[in-house]
Amino acid sequence: MAIEVRIPTILRTYTDGEKSVTGEGDSLSALIDDLESSHPGIKERLIDDGDLRRFVNVYVNDEDVRFLGGLKAPLSDGDQVVVLPAVAGG
């Protein structure tokens, strides 16, 4: 089971500069745990207090995971996950 994960510039410090990594997991939560094991530190940048950070957007096959159950969003082999920090401010 392999899921491609696109990594934004700001998080490439955790992936040796790689734009894209692969991970596994049958849910977004499991995938992030798997990413954490190979790229320590990345989980904390995505999750805060048990939930996806407000200003981090994650998409599965182009759909915002907030509409797919958030961290519980189911994943299957071949899915494509994109992580993008919000472009926002005050």
Partner 1 sequence: MLTLDQATYDAIVAHAKRDHPDEACGIVAGPAGSDRAERLVEMVNAAGSPTFYEFDSTDLLHLYKEMDARDEEPVVVYHSHTATEAYPSRTDIGLAMEPNAHYVLVSTREHGNNDGPVEFRSYRIVDDQVTEEPVEIVEQLPATAQTRSSA
Binding site for partner 1 (CB under 8 A): 8-10, 55, 57, 59, 62, 64, 66, 82, 84-90
Q: Tell me if 86 sits within 8 A of 56, measured CB to CB.
A: yes
CA distances from 73 to 14, 18, 60, 68, 90 (A): 23, 24, 8, 5, 30
- Minimum CB separation of residue 84 from partner 1 in Å reads 6
Residue number with CB closer to partner 1 (2 or 87): 87
Residue number with CB closer to partner 1 (13 or 37): 13
Residue number with CB closer to partner 1 (37 or 41): 41
- Minimum CB separation of residue 89 from partner 1 in Å reads 4
- Minimum CB separation of residue 67 from partner 1 in Å reads 9
CA distances from 70 to 4, 15, 26, 47, 73 (A): 18, 23, 13, 11, 5
